[in-house]
Amino acid sequence: MQKVTTGAEDRISELIERIGYHNDRYHVHDDPEIPDAEFDELVRELRELETANPELIRPDSPTQTVGADPSTLFAPVEHRMPMMSLDNAFDREELNAWADRARRRLAAEDLGDLVCELKFDGLAVSLRYVNRKLEQAATRGNGRVGEDITANILTISSIPHRLPGNAPDVLEVRGEVYMPLSAFEELNAEQDRAGKARYANPRNTAAGSLRQKDPTITATRGLSIWCYSVGEVQGGPALDTHSATLELLDTLGLPVNPETATVGSLDKAWEFVVRSESKRHGLPYEIDGAVIKVNRLDLQEELGATSRAPRWAVAYKLPPEEKTTKLLDIHVSIGGKGKATPFAALEPVFVGGSTVAMATLHNEDQVREKDVRPGDTVVVRKAGDVIPEVLGPVLADRPDGLPVWEFPEVCPCPHQQPLTRQEGDAAHYCRFPRCPEQLRGWIEHFAARNALDIEHLGEQRVRLFIDLGFISDVGDIYSLPYDRIRELEGFGELSVANLAAAIEASKQQSLARLLVGLNIRHLGDTTCELLAEAFGSLERIMGASVEELAEVDGIGPIIAESVYEFFLSEVNQEIIQKLPKELLEASSSDAEAEVEALPQTLEGMTIVVTGGVEGYTRDGVGAAIKARGGKAPGSVSSKTTALVVGENPGASKLEKAEKLGIPILDEAQFQRLIETGELP
C-alpha cells in the first residue's frame, strides 16, 4: 500500500518547529508571542496528526518531551501532601457506621452536605502545577512516595500543560488516569489485526501504558483523566467546600467528572450509590464504586485522618461482578505430595477484569455441598478480587437427568493408580510413589524460590526432562545430561549454561532450604527452619528418633512421625545419596551468623503484615521481622502485637485487627518500629 503521508509529514515538521520556538519564548525568555490558547491549539493539531499517523511520531516531538526530562522517568517523588487511600464500605450498614463514627467526632454532630462521586477504576496520580505550568506528575505509589511519570502524563491530551491566569500559583491536582472503553476496544482491535494477544482489561492496560519507558507509546493509548481533589495549594481563590474545589478545577480546564452530586443526607447519598450501581454498565469508562465526602472543608479538617485514610470520606465498593458460564467438566490435579484437587473446567468467561477458564473446587465435599455437575450453568466470581470461585449451579438451567459428579477412582496420569481418601481426611491422595504427576510437583517444589531456588528450571522444562527420562527423582537434577539437552530444540549454548550455573549455585543453599526441597509431608518453610536450627545437620536429623524429633518446640508426634518415616524409606535414602556432598553437609549456622548481627528490636513481638510494603518483597517483610527477633505469622490473632498495613491491604486482616483493638501501623511507623522497636 502506497503511503499518503507526505502532507501530514510536512505539517508535523512545521508544527514541531513552531511549537519549539514558542515553547522557548515562553519558558526560556518568559516572553510569549502568542496567547496560551493558540499555543495549545498548535499542540492539539500536532497530537491529532500523530494519533492518526502513529508511524510519523518523532522522538523529538514536543508531545513527547515538552517540559519533561525523560531521564527522570520513574524516579521517586515525595508527595508534598500524602496521597491517602480511602476506607471501604460494602453495604448500607457499613456506610451508616462510617457516618456515625464521623458524627461523634464532630462538635456539631452534623456532617452537613455530602458530595457523591463515582469511583473510577484507574490509577491515582498527582499533577503539580507551579506558576500555572505542569511541572511534575507522579503516581500514588505508597501514598508518601510515588514515581515520576511527567513525560508520560504530558502525552495525555485532556491534561492541560498550562493553566489559565486565575489559577493558584502552586496547585497539586489529584485524579485518576483511566482508559476509556472506546480506546480500550480500539487498542484491542489493533492487537487483533496485528495477530497479537488482546489486553485483559482497561485498568491494567492504563497502568501498563503509564509505565512505558517510551512516552511515544503512552501517547497512542488514548488515556484520559478525572480530577477529583487537590493536594498542596498556594494562592488562588479561598475555598471552603469540596464542591467549590471541583468547580475550580473545572474552570481551570481540568477534566472533572459530570456524574457528581452534592446531597443533604446519607439517605440521598445511598440513592446515589444505588444509582451508580445500575449505571455501571452504561458508562464509557469503568467504575468500581462510589465515593462519599463531607463537603465542608472546615469539617474535614476537624475530622482529620487516621494513619492511612481520612475520616471525612468513605468509598463504597460495588460487590464483585458475578457471571454465569457453562461448567464443561470437573478434572483433578495432582500436587507434589500426591494430593488430588478437583477443579472446574469452565467455558471461558470474562469476569472481574480477566478471563476465567479454571477454578479450584478444593475437595470432594466442597463439590458435593455446592452440588455442581458437569453440564451445569454455574455462577462465577473473583474471591478477593483475584481467585476465581464457583458459587453454585443455576438449578433452573440444569438439564434433566444430569448425573451427580463422582470423584474419579484413579489418578489422571498414565499409570492410573487409585485415588484414595482416608477416614477423617478431606482430601484424596494418589499414593503411587512413581507417579509422574507427583514427581513433576516435587521437582518444581525442589526448584522453587523458598527451597533450592533453581532459576531456569520451570514447569515446562521439568515436564520435558521427565518425559525424556532425564529426571526420575530430585537427585537426577545434579546429573543432567547436558550434552543431550544442548541438542534439544529451544536450548542454546547460553540457556544450557544458565541452567547449569543455577543448579551449581543451589549446592550452596542452607539445610533448612534443602529440607523444604525434600518435600516431606507436613513440613513447610517454618517447620524446616525449626528442625534445621534444632539439629544443625541433615545427618543428625536422619539419626533422630521420633521422640527426639517431637521434642522440638512446634513439632508434634504427627510431624515427627512423618519426618522419621521419610528418612526410613529406602527409596528416599537412595535419592539422598544422589544429592551433592555440599548440600548434604549444609548446616544451619551460616545463615544465622548474618541474622545475629542485626539488633533484635522486635524480640517478643508478633507482627502481621497485609499488603505490599515499599522496599520489600512479600516474603522479605517476614524475613526482616524474623531477622530482628520478631514473629511474622500470616494471620491476625489476639497474640498479634501490631498489624502493618501496606499497599492494597486485605480487608479481612484489617477488620479482625480493628475488632481486637490491635494497633495498626502504616509503612513509616513500621520502619520506625523495625529500627527502634518502639510502637507509636
Site residues (vs DNA, CB under 7 A): 200, 204, 333, 335-337, 339, 341, 343, 354-360, 362-363, 365-366, 383-384, 386-388, 424-427, 441, 521-528, 553-560, 606, 610, 631, 633-635, 637-640, 649-653
Query: Has 119 been annotated as catalytic?
Result: yes
Element (H, E) at 390: strand 387-393
- Name the residue nearer to DNA (CB basis): 36 or 525: 525
State the nearest-atom distance from the C-beta of 605 to DNA, in Å: 11
Q: How far is the CB of 424 from DNA (least distance, A)?
A: 7
Report which DSSP code applies to 486.
H
Residues 653, 637: Cα–Cα separation, whole Å: 9
Contacts of 379 (CB under 8 A, 6+ apart): 322, 323, 324, 390, 391, 392, 393, 394
Nearest approach, Cβ of 655 to DNA (angstroms)? Answer: 10
R_g over Cα of the chain? 30
Choose between 204 and 537: whose C-beta lies nearer to DNA.
204
Comparing CA positions, the residue from 202, 87, 75, 213 lying closest to residue 139 is: 75
Shortest Å distance, C-beta 177 to DNA: 18
Q: Is residue 607 within 8 Å of residue 632, measured between CB atoms?
A: yes
Q: Which of 3, 119, 323, 639 is catalytic?
A: 119
53 vs 324, beta carbon nearer DNA: 324
Can you give the three-state secondary structure of 69-125, one letter per residue? CHHHCCCEEECCCCCCCCCEECCHHHHHHHHHHHHHHCCCCCCCCEEEEEEECCEEE
By beta-carbon proximity to DNA, the closer residue of 118 and 177 is 177
Instruction: State the Cα–Cα distance between residues 1 and 519, nearest whole angstrom.
Output: 60
Q: Which is nearer to DNA, 138 or 531 (CB)?
A: 531
CB 187 within 8 A of CB 219: no
Q: Are strands 428-430 and 419-421 parallel, antiparallel or unpaired?
A: antiparallel
Separation CA 162–CA 173 (nearest Å): 13
Q: Which is nearer to DNA, 52 or 660 (CB)?
A: 660
Q: Where are the beta strands (DSSP E) in 215-302?
A: 224-234, 261-263, 287-294
CB of 269 to DNA, least distance (A): 27
Question: Which residues does 575 contact at the CB level (< 8 Å), separation at least 6?
Answer: 473, 474, 475
Written as nine digits, the cell of 324 is 454465569
Residue 137 phi, psi (nearest 5): -125, 140
For the stretch 337-364, what's the b/e string if a residue is b when 16 or more beta carbons lie within 10 angstroms of its beta carbon?
Answer: bbbbbbbbebeeeebbbeebeebebebb
Phi then psi for residue 56, to 5 deg, are -95, 0
For the bound state, the minimum distance from the C-beta of residue 159 to DNA, rounded and expressed in Å, comes to 25
Question: Between residues 254 and 621, which has the closer beta carbon with respect to DNA?
Answer: 621
3-class secondary structure, 33? coil
| Least gap, CB of 270 to DNA (angstroms) | 25
Length of the chain: 680
487 dihedral zone (left: phi>0; alpha: psi -120 to 50; beta): alpha
Nearer to DNA, 172 or 286 (CB): 286
Q: Smallest distance, Å, CB 451 to DNA?
A: 10
For residues 130 and 391, which CB has a smaller minimum distance to DNA in the complex? 391
Shortest spacing between CB 227 and DNA, in angstroms: 27
Smallest distance, DNA to C-beta of residue 27, A: 38
Cβ nearer to DNA, comparing 240 with 459: 459
- For residue 226 the three cell numbers come to 478525572
DSSP 450: T
Question: Is residue 184 exposed (0-12), middle (13-18) or buried (19+ Cβ within 10 Å)?
Answer: buried
Provide φ and ψ at 265, rounded to 5°.
Answer: -150, 160
Rounded Cα gap, residues 670 and 680, in angstroms: 9
Tell me the closest approach of the beta carbon of residue 256 to DNA, in angstroms: 30
Q: Which is nearer to DNA, 138 or 516 (CB)?
A: 516
Choose among 268, 322, 244: nearest CA to 95. Answer: 268
**What's the rounded Cα separation, in Å, for the pair 110 and 98?**
13
Phi, psi of 348 (to 5 degrees): -50, 135
- Residues marked as catalytic: 119
